Every structure is written in C-alpha cells, then in structure tokens.
Amino acid sequence: MLVKSITTLLLLGLSVCSLDLPGMAQAEGVAVVVNSGNPAGNLSLGDLRKMFAGTKRSWPGGQAVKLITRGPGCPERAALLRLLAMSESEYKQYWTAQVFRGEADAEPLVVPSVGMQREALGVFSGAISLVNAPDVKPGMKVIKIDNLLPGAAGYAVR
C-alpha cells in the first residue's frame, strides 16, 4: 500500500512538472475585454451575443459598440463562431447581409494579433473584443459574462 502511494505521488509529481501551463490556462475560456474607460463590468450572454451579431449597437450610456475580432484560425474566432452558432462561411454571409440591410456600417474590424487587439481597445472607447484568457494583457478590461469571469464554473464563452 505504502509502495503504491509513493509511486503514485512520484508519477503525479512528474506529470505536474510536464504539464503545459498555457494549454491549461486555455481551458479557462475566452475573456470578454473592453476599453479600460468603459464603465460596464458585466454583460448578459444574450447581450454579448447581440453585440457580436451587430443587433445591439450601443452601450447603455449610448456609446457606439466597436467590434474588434480575430481572423479565422484563432481560438477567439472559434469562440465567436460558437457564440453566434455560425460557420465561418455563414458568418461572412451574415455580415454582408447586415451591411446591405443597413443594420451595420461595416463588418467588424479584424486584427491579426493580441497586441493589436490591445491597441485597438485603447483607440476605440466603445470597443469590445474576445481574447484567449491567458493572453489578456495589461490595459485590457475584462468584464463578467452573466456575473462570471473566465475560469469560473459555468462561464459560457469558450
């Protein structure tokens, strides 16, 4: 019994040492980040979905929502498509239609890196974006979704 316990502990120790910590953090989910001056601290999942679908276009204070997104292939893009329950092709067609209907001026701004997300969030005061939780940088304000932060049980944006 003692021997088994020691062996288990040793193997556990080795396993922990070999864990990929960023990968583990990725399981925390995708953070919803806004401009640091944005007073919002919490959004409902429904409102978040409406914002990224372009049907809710202003913050409670009346400020215009500016969508900052990542391109195809990024975990943030995958989370966005899951949030909207769309494929990449459907997403493109949806935004073409939204613009043509007059429901949006342009498709969401696409940036190629987390650094540029941070910059864009700083530039546009009404900006909102999705960032892989471990990649959140100083200057990005993480807001709660349904009163939950990334990593919490039941956090919905993944």
Partner 1 sequence: MRRGRIWARIRCALVVALIVPACGWAQNAGQNSSDPDQETIRQLAEQIKQLQQQDHDLLERIKILEVKQAPASPGTEADASSPSTSPQLAQQTAPLPAPLPAPTPTPPAVPHDRHDLHGIQWRGFGEVNYQVLNQRQPELATGGFVGGSHGNFYTGDFGLFLTSRLTAKTSVLAEMIFEEGDAQSYSVDLRRMLLRYEYDDHLKFSFGRYQTNIGYYNWAFRSAAWLQTTADRPLVMQYASDGGLLPTQAIGVSVTGAIPSGKLGLNYVAEYGSSDTVRPDISGDGFVTDENNGNQTNVGLFMRPDGLRGLQIGTSYYHDQISNNVLNASSGVQVPLPPGSLGYSARYGQTIVNGYVVYVAHGVEFLNEGFLIRQALVGGPLHFDTPAFYSQFSKQLGRVRPFVRYQYVNANSNVNSVIDDVGLRYGPSFGVRYDLNDYMAFTTQLDHTVRGGQPDLNGLQLQFAFTF
* Cα dihedral sign, 89-86-119-121: positive
User: Which among 146, 151, 148, 113 is positioned nearest to 129, based on CA atoms?
Assistant: 113
* Integer CA distances (angstroms), 134 to 21, 25, 41, 130, in order: 10, 6, 19, 12
Q: Which of 81, 116, 149, 156 binds partner 1 (CB under 8 A)?
A: 116
Closer Cβ to partner 1, 30 or 121, answer by number: 121
**Nearest-approach distance from CB 58 to partner 1, in angstroms:** 5
Element (H, E) at 129: strand 127-132
21 sits near partner 1 (criterion: CB under 8 A) = no
Q: Which of 41, 46, 137, 147 binds partner 1 (CB under 8 A)?
A: 46
Q: Which of 24, 42, 82, 93 binds partner 1 (CB under 8 A)?
A: 93
Q: Do 48 and 29 touch, CB atoms closer than 8 A?
A: no
> Which positions touch partner 1 (CB under 8 A)?
3, 6-7, 10-11, 13-14, 17, 35-37, 46, 49, 55-58, 62-64, 66, 71, 85, 89-90, 92-93, 96-97, 99-102, 105-107, 109-113, 115-116, 119-120, 122-127, 139
